[in-house]
Amino acid sequence: MSHLHEDKIKFLEETANTIRQDVIEMVVNAGSGHVAGPLDMADIFTALYFHVLKHDSKNPDWPERDRLVLSNGHICPVRYAAMARAGYFPVEELKTLRKFGTRLQGHPHRTALPGVETTSGPLGSGLSQAVGMAIAAKMDKKSFNIYCLMSDGEQEAGQTWEAAMLAGKLKLDNLTALIDRNNIQIDGMTEDIMPLEPLRQKYEAFNWHVLEINGHNFEEIVNAYETAHAIYEKPVLIIAHTVAGKGVDFMEFQYPWHSKTFKPEEVTESLRQLRTLGGKIKGEHQ
């Protein structure tokens, strides 16, 4: 992983802003889809695809690549946008999200799009899949890493904790999981529906090394993944504190935007805000 210098931070910030605009345009064009989660995870996905992951967009099945498992597959618009911007497929294909016959389905499909490691759907299964990959990598004496991205809402699923227990028992130090701690789910705030706290202590009790970061700060994101690589005989969990709907003021912290249809004026305003922010990012780094 290369040094995160100022020019690279500028590039990552600009790329994340572009990806957020892609997400809005994709969901609007599709007429349906999830918005709040993809917007708040844009910085994480940008850091992964443009700095952290060992991967090759021109050779998606490269045997030594890192594996990225997206457990909360409903936020796939942000993954598709990041992959397109990283060169996996043409950016123009983003317009096909959720269309009949598209490779960009409403949940990622492993055999539909090269570079997607798993098929997702029911929340709570991704960590189990990632644990299986980590075990297999250990058995094969491979040096690549397995990264799993999860929502906070899916911590309510029992299967997640079965996987967490096994990962801790087997000391899977080639596994790094990240929770998008945006505090919302489809019908309310997580702490109102099924309280998750103390989340950190729960994972620590299962023999995980836990880090907490601002999920919108690239230095903190990259430093967390660098730290994860240095941890021995423990899986690592990164709790990324994020703002649902990040970048669009009328969406931020608003759980109804988990999945919601846009009004025309909302499309115009959300893109205006993101483009304005993009101009500020460029100005700050000049």
The domain segmentation of the chain, as residue ranges, is 6-284
Phi, psi of 94 (to 5 degrees): -60, -25
Tell me which CATH homologous superfamily contains domain 6-284. Thiamin diphosphate (ThDP)-binding fold, Pyr/PP domains (3.40.50.970)
129 and 118 Cβ atoms separated by less than 8 Å: yes
Q: Identify the CA nearest to 159 among candidates 129, 191, 182, 189.
A: 129
**Lookup: tokens for 284:** 């700050």
Sheet hosting strand 236-241, strand order edge to edge: 67-70, 146-151, 175-181, 236-241, 209-214
**Tens digit of each residue's pLDDT, the chain (286 residues):** 667 889 999 999 999 999 999 999 999 999 988 899 999 999 999 999 999 999 999 999 999 999 999 999 999 999 999 999 999 999 999 999 999 999 999 999 999 999 999 998 788 999 999 999 999 999 999 999 999 999 999 999 999 999 999 999 999 999 999 999 999 998 889 999 999 999 999 999 999 999 999 999 999 999 999 999 999 999 999 999 999 999 999 999 988 888 888 999 999 999 999 999 888 887 776 5
Q: Tell me which H or E stretch contains 213.
A: strand 209-214
Q: Identify the CA nearest to 104 among candidates 29, 14, 21, 13.
A: 29
